[in-house]
Amino acid sequence: MKNRLPLVVWAALVVLVFLAAFSLNREGHNIIGRDFSESNDLAWQLEEFYSSIGPTVLNPIDREEAKEQLTVSKQEIEEYRYWYGSLPAQISNIHDQYDQRIEEARAAKNETLQEALTKERDIKLADINKNFEDDAHVEAKIRKEKEKALQQYLNEYNNRSYSLPIAYEFTNVETGETFSAGDVSVPSIYKKQFNSAKGYFKAHSLPGQGDARNEWTSSAPHGDSVTISNEDIRAMANTVQSFEGVVSIPKAEIQKGSSLYSQYKTFNRWKYGSYAFWFLGLVSLITLLTVMKFQKAWVIGTPFDEKYANLKIDLKLIALILTGLVLFVYIDSNSYFMDLFKYPRLGRFGSWTVTFLVFGVLPTILLAFQLVHGVERWKQKGAVEADLKDTYFIRFLQALQTMFLKKSIGVQTFILLIGFFLAGVGFLTIFFDPVFFVLYSFCVLFLGLPVSFIFVRRVAYLNKILVATEAMAAGRLNEAIKIEGKSPLAEHAKNLNNLREGVRSSMTEQAKSERLKTELITNVSHDLRTPLTSIITYTDLLKDESITPEERANYVDILDKKSQRLKTLIEDLFEVSKMASGNLELYKQRVDLTQLLQQALAEHADDIAQSGLDFRTDIPDDMLMAYVDGQRWWRVLDNLIVNAIKYSLPGTRVYVTLRKRVDVAEFVVKNITKYELGENVDELFERFKRADTSRHTDGSGLGLAIAQSIVDMHGGNMKIELDGDLFKVTVTVPMK
């Protein structure tokens, strides 16, 4: 008990601080620095006066003229005419209402009633017939209802009275007509001037003008509602009139015994009571920061410590959230409690005190208890991790995961188990009451047998899948499993078919890989052996001392070219090997791709001129900057330009384009191929793959492979497209 009283006082002070802060935020702008003349209650009553004085006194409409402005549309006539159906249907309905009653009056020999009913029926039949014959007849009915609606609404609005004891004097700016009530010259608590400098008072002639209401309705005799349209309202409204003058509330009206005295007194109680409570909140805050600082010992060592520590962490979290929610809802809903000062009652203060203790102080104590114990638990190394692993939620998820590894099957199995259980219970109930036998038979026929049929079909389908799976395991991949329905087994069969296709694709890719490996070895051997053979041959020729100096110089030149050719092949092969192994490093920096492409084209200007090709370029005038390894990216451009020069059909055009697309730079080369290419252009990326399959042209066959590797290392994309003999290479690289 020693620590309990300080804790209760501390919690009460905390709640008072929050209540004061919330109420100050919500009501402060309505109270601080304001007097009764600026109160919301008075403002609402003044608004009521201003909205009603125009239609009722200053600018009322002429009701008879307004009625003349009402219109009836063709659509309204048709809706009224066919409200109860077609002419035959309405006539039949009238006969159904009266014929039996007339016959009963005749049988009772009550001639007076018989004649009255017959006359009433004939009048209604004649009226219905006239409705379908004469539009003017229907229009007159609708107009009458609209006049009634207008009259009712104007009467209702004009009978309204404003509750404030207001004195006013208004003069029409145009006509000079003056309207007044009371004495506006006496001392006042509220006074508002209307003139050219401060603005004239605008008096509307109709209720609803300038606000949300713009349609009037009235219940018609046939059950429908007649609506006065916006067009009718605009037609009957007077022009808005401007008035100058003054509106005031005499100061005498807030004296004791006057009509506003009660409101004036209530506002002041509310105002100064709020000031007092906000001051109390400030004192409470200062106390909390000085003499009543929170102490951990207040909530430790209680009889609840051990019980709370044994709770799972998810239960603790739920309790913490609920406690905080209760406290927040209490403070949020009671921050308007300043009404207690407006209408003070001992019972209301007693009720507020009880709720303050139960829903304010108690949740604050519990919240402090939970937070302190949570922080202490957090400080213990590894304690929170252990608590998280031991939660009810984690245990539930683990159990659920084990049971529902395949959710749909788990759900169906769970339902099936419940079904079997209920079937057993149902079977036992038939021995207690024969009525249950009927119900049980119904369930067996319409629930049990269909479910059993579905279950047997699923088991049969499962056996088919197992047999097909065994065939796949044996290597027989030709026949797919038939997909039946949309059950989990059908989904499993679909997955097995996808697996079968994956295995077949893998085997196809493996065969392709073996073929490409063989071609690679053949191509490498051929491309390395050709220059090497030439080197050996011309070296032997140089050993002959009888050759002339001209021949010797020619042989040396050939040896130099072949040596350079062999050197290029070996360097390209090493570079591709380094790229494939990931040992090649990039040194990225900001590079102008426009300038780099112009340099590459300029370096091959002589080769382009000798090739007989017409190079058409589309290059930006401005710089196109990107973060790339300039030396490596130049190699990409060089390889693609050289590729176009070597393999383009002589006399054709080659299109080279560089442009910006959003946040990437795009480089495109298009040309007409000299050689016929196969359909699978992706193989051109393979090492030592050349369009010249006879391998009579110079080149290592590594150009596109090297370019592809460099582009990939830059995070870009390289794509080859082939349309007949049109060969297109597109390279994109991120600019950032």
- The tens digit of pLDDT for each residue in 269-284 reads 888 888 888 999 999 9
Q: Are 527 and 540 in contact (CB under 8 A)?
A: no
Identify any residues that bridge with 179 across adjacent strands, giving them in sequence order.
170
Average confidence (pLDDT) over 56-78: 84
Higher pLDDT, 178 or 527: 178
pLDDT at residue 220 in the model: 41
Distance CA 293, CA 7 (A): 10
Higher pLDDT, 689 or 610: 610
Most confidently predicted of 200-214, 298-312, 415-429, 619-633: 619-633
Query: Which of 273, 213, 241, 264 lies closest to 23 in space, CA to CA?
Result: 273
Residues 198 and 308 in one domain: no
592 by Cβ neighbours in 10 Å (0-12 / 13-18 / 19+) ranks as middle
Residues 367 and 425 in one domain: no
Query: Which of 417, 177, 174, 379 lies closest to 296 in space, CA to CA?
Result: 379
Query: Which of 169, 231, 243 lies closest to 203 in space, CA to CA?
Result: 243
Q: What is the pLDDT of residues 568-624, one digit of tens each?
A: 667 666 666 666 556 677 888 999 999 999 998 998 888 898 988 999 999 998 899
SS3 content of the chain, % helix, strand, coil (to 5): 65, 10, 25
Residue 230 lies inside a defined structural domain of this protein: yes
Residues 341 and 416 in one domain: no
Residue 317 lies inside a defined structural domain of this protein: yes
Residues 12 and 59 in one domain: no
SS3 for 164? coil
pLDDT at residue 309 in the model: 83
Q: What is the pLDDT of residues 508-522, one digit of tens each?
A: 767 665 665 555 555
Residue 426 lies inside a defined structural domain of this protein: yes
Distance CA 252, CA 167 (A): 12
Residues 381 and 415 in one domain: no
Q: What is the pLDDT of residues 321-363, one digit of tens each?
A: 999 999 999 988 876 655 666 666 677 778 888 888 999 999 9
Domain boundary among 201, 219, 254: 254
Domain boundary among 366, 389, 412: 389
Residues 652 and 702 in one domain: yes
pLDDT at residue 581 in the model: 58
Question: What tokens appear for 146 in the block?
Answer: 């609209």
Residues 341 and 445 in one domain: no
Q: Are 405 and 485 in contact (CB under 8 A)?
A: no
Total domain count for the chain? 4
Length of the chain: 736
Residue 409 lies inside a defined structural domain of this protein: yes
CB atoms near residue 342 (< 10 Å): 17
Residue 571 lies inside a defined structural domain of this protein: no
Residues 380 and 449 in one domain: no
Distance CA 249, CA 192 (A): 9
Percent of the chain with pLDDT over 90: 25
480 Rama sector, left if φ>0, alpha if ψ -120 to 50, beta otherwise? beta
Residues 138 and 229 in one domain: yes
Distance CA 664, CA 215 (A): 60
Residues 169 and 217 in one domain: yes
Q: Mean pLDDT in the chain?
A: 80
Cβ contacts of 543 within 8 Å, gap of 6 or more: none
Residues 247 and 291 in one domain: no
Owning domain of residue 714: 585-734
Q: Are 614 and 644 in contact (CB under 8 A)?
A: no
Whether the predicted pLDDT of 201 surpasses 90: yes
pLDDT at residue 454 in the model: 66
Domain boundary among 473, 489, 518: 473
Residues 365 and 448 in one domain: no
Angle between helices 407-429 and 434-443 (to 10 degrees): 150
Q: Which amino acid is at 34?
A: R
In degrees, rounded to 5, the angle at the alpha carbon of residue 278 between the alpha carbons of residues 275 and 282 is 135
Residue 523 lies inside a defined structural domain of this protein: no
Distance CA 620, CA 624 (A): 7
pLDDT at residue 629 in the model: 87
Q: Are 335 and 16 in contact (CB under 8 A)?
A: no
In sequence order, which ranges of 211-260 are alpha helices (DSSP H)? Answer: 230-236
Question: What tokens appear for 376 in the block?
Answer: 């202490």
- Domain CATH code at residue 652: 3.30.565.10
Residue 518 lies inside a defined structural domain of this protein: no
What is the C-alpha radius of gyration for the chain, rounded to an integer number of angstroms?
49
Residue 209 lies inside a defined structural domain of this protein: yes
